[in-house]
Amino acid sequence: MTRRHDAVISILLAATVVAMPVALYRIFLVAPEELVMGAVQKIFYFHVPLAAVTFLSVFVLLAGAVGYLWTRRAVWDHLSIASAEVGLLFCTLVLITGPIWAKPAWGVWWTWEAKLTTTLILWLLLAGILLSRAYATTPEQGARVASVLGVVAALDVPIVYKAVDWWRGQHPIVFGPGKGNPLAPGMGSALMVSLIVFVLLYMLLLASRMRLAGLEDRLAAVEDNVWRSR
């Protein structure tokens, strides 16, 4: 199983390394500049995939959380831990890239409109999952609390997604019912390639973190056996 896991990580690493330069080439050399915002619009090709993969990570976190609460099996907890940590990383990047676009577009780095606020809440929930594990009395208690918070985080995702429709915020809607595809030729393909790269990167980080979680459990078991033998 360990060798198979390592092989999967190697394949994902190779695919990511190959795909990433292709994405950068299409973003900066193939996709045309937006007429109004110019080069600043290029952040779109990072911000949108980062947000999509953040949502993906939360749904994987939900699967791990529900699986652990139902079965108490370590593999589900490993999945939950891994996706929470990687999801927090991607959500952080969403909150960094968003203001980079917002400053030239709105004239401010941050505004408390609905989509931004609910995304910040999602970030706080993901951070809370990691803090609950770090400060829990026992690993089992931390896993239970983190799993419950994982379910709550998943409930926030559709709110983030629909925030602009429900509260008429300033955040642009690129895709939606009846809106078609407003992207110029070259922009759509660059976005899709970038999305594929970030999905591959997510899978790579997820698999690597799950591998590490398994090794941490094995180390804890060895330390426990040594302590008991004294």
CATH number of the domain within which 45 lies: 1.20.120
**CB proximity list for 89: less than 8 A, separation 6 or greater:** 205
Host domain of residue 222: 2-172+185-229
Q: Does the structure show a pLDDT above 50 at 103? A: yes
Q: Does the structure show a pLDDT above 70 at 208? A: yes
Q: Which two three-digit tokens encode residue 219? A: 């180390």
46-83 confidence digits (pLDDT tens): 999 999 999 999 999 999 999 999 999 999 999 999 99
Q: What is the mean pLDDT of residues 30-50?
A: 85
Please state the domain count of the chain: 1
Establish if 71 belongs to a structural domain: yes
Establish if 178 belongs to a structural domain: no
When pLDDT is cut at 50, 70 and 90, the band that residue 230 belongs to is low
Token pair 């779109």 in the structure block, residue:
44
Helical H runs in 72-113? 74-106
Establish if 180 belongs to a structural domain: no
140-178 confidence digits (pLDDT tens): 899 999 999 999 999 999 999 888 778 776 666 655 554
The one-character DSSP state at 136 is: -
Q: Residue 72 — left, alpha, or beta (φ > 0 → left; ψ -120 to 50 → alpha)? A: left
Alpha-carbon gap, residue 88 to 155, rounded angstroms: 16
Q: Does the structure show a pLDDT above 90 at 119? A: yes
Question: Residue 11: phi, psi to the nearest 5?
Answer: -65, -45
Q: How many CB atoms lie within 10 A of CB 47?
A: 19
Q: What pTM, to 2 d.p., does this model score?
A: 0.89
Work out the widest C-alpha separation in the chain, in whole angstroms.
Answer: 72
Alpha-carbon gap, residue 96 to 112, rounded angstroms: 15
